Amino acid sequence: MLSTMQDVPLLISRMLHHGSTVHASSRVTTWIGEGAPRRRTFAEIGARTAQLAHALRDDLGVRDDDRIATLMWNHAEHVEAYFAAPSMGAVLHTLNLRLPPKQLVWIVNHAADRVVLVDGSLLPLLVPLLPHLTSVEHVVVSGPGDRSGLAGIGPRVHDYEELIAEKPTAYDWPELDERRAAAMCYTSGTTGDPKGVVFSHRSVYLHSMQVNMAHSMALTDADTSLIVVPQFHVNAWGLPHAAFMSGFNMLMPDRFLQPGPLAEMITTERPTHAAAVPTIWQGLLAEVTARPRDLSTLTQVTIGGSACPPSLMRAFDTLGMRVCHAWGMTETSPLGTIARPPAHAIGTDEEFGYRITQGRFPASVEARLRGPDGDLLPWDGTAAGELEVRGPWIAAAYYGGADAEPLRPDDKFSADGWLKTGDVGTISPDGYLTLTDRAKDVIKSGGEWISSVELENVLMSHPEVAEAAVVAVPDEKWGERPLATVVLAEGATVGFEGLRAFLAETVAPWQLPERWTLVQAVPKTSVGKFDKKVIRKQYADGTLDVTRI
């Protein structure tokens, strides 16, 4: 028996139409440093998106399934590309501008990008790569920048504003299959080549609905979100798409991601919400501690990308900025969990315990834990295993490349189709995930597991510690032992013995590190996570000054 419901495809073009009509007066504000920010309404974004689609189709010859790459900061033009490419039937491909040049070349060629939209300020990054980009036919430059290096280099060069000028402000968006590719992102390639994840119109649409749920980010047209998380980082966590669904305003920082400019944005533009990785918020906390600002409007902060230290969460609580923890990855679009406490815990001693978890699974994300021996583990809040997930916005495979099979099998997917996340943790009976480590970062010492994340969180709760990363290093007796890599706060006087004693107040004696090193900064990946493989290599190469206590 079939239903009597209409079969209307879930398309990004429908999100665009809704946002640019129902929420026509909502705005995208782009920070420009000095001077008044650029402001553009959703209605204007919709009209310019149509103009961009006409230019891509008519002037650049873009056809269905062609990949349109972006090498851009967060701003209004990038939002226009977010909607134009998939709505017309092409595929948006955001490029991570913080990746090494060789990886960027590999990614562009693997995806077979035909067009690159680039900020003028990023031309020094793109121009040296162009001779090696075999598929790129057009480069579209947005904003000021030195374009002299583009002369005679190969692809045709266009100016963004000139390209879309005088184009029609309406577009007859095609009725696409909702399962068609809409956008793609590549993982950062910490092991082997980067891997391409291709999102469908359907997955983006459903994910956007989840972002807007009351137990998720719960933003409305009364809100303004400061979107610090880069648009190349898993579609800015789905926020631009979600904005056109619910009408919340977007404050885009462009290239001004330093703590000082971010604090100025908050004080002048008065956002109610912000989203970024923990390292951004650690920098902002130091900034406003040294130079207090009025941050009173920013009452909700979403932190993801890596675990937020509880000490950082408490520090922002004192400023009136409530941190909401979230977990996800490129393969999960990225929203997997979000840490809204259940009703019975609000206002009780239990509440903070829920907030420091990675959060609760929404209805569309199924989860299970698999132990080291392959057995499925119970949701009892105690049994720890590798997290596996599945759902309508969870990847089932990786992109195989333009000259290969469309889908690439990988050992990150189980035989029955679940994504093996590589994260180790527990799940409570009421569905809250607590991650204890990455599978590759768990310290296996004398037959027991030591959580590097737990050691880091305790160390970073010390008032004289700015950052701390813990990795496993070889040990003749125990197999592996923890190495604590510490960045001290300015003016700190604490020594390694003091830090070890501080850890001993919380951590079992056998888990305490014997090896310690001071560094100026913890190495970080392109998306702001601690880059532990760099620390492990530095230790192996003997370049760290290690003290044993």
Catalytic residues: 187, 331, 444, 449
Exposure b/e, 323-362, CB count within 10 A at least 16 = b: bbbbbbbbbbbbbbbbbbbeeeeeeeeeeeebbbbbbbbb
Q: For strands 419-427 and 407-408, give the pairing.
A: unpaired
Q: Is-contact 529 306, C-beta < 8 A?
A: yes
Position of tokens 């993801």?
A: 304
Task: Estimate the crossing angle of helix 259-269 against helix 278-290, to 10 degrees.
Answer: 80
What does the block give as tokens for 433?
């995930």
State residue 443 phi and psi, 5-degree precision.
-95, 115
Q: Are 77 and 142 in contact (CB under 8 A)?
A: yes
Amino acid identity, residue 160?
Y
Beta-ladder partners of 91: 67
Separation between Cα atoms, residue 325 and residue 335, nearest integer Å = 11
* H or E stretch covering 68: strand 67-71
Q: Residue 166 contacts by C-beta under 8 Å, 6 or more apart in sequence?
A: none
Coil vs helix vs strand at 81: helix
Write out the H or E segment, with its range, that includes residue 40. strand 38-41
Contact between 281 and 322 under an 8 Å Cβ cutoff? The reply is no
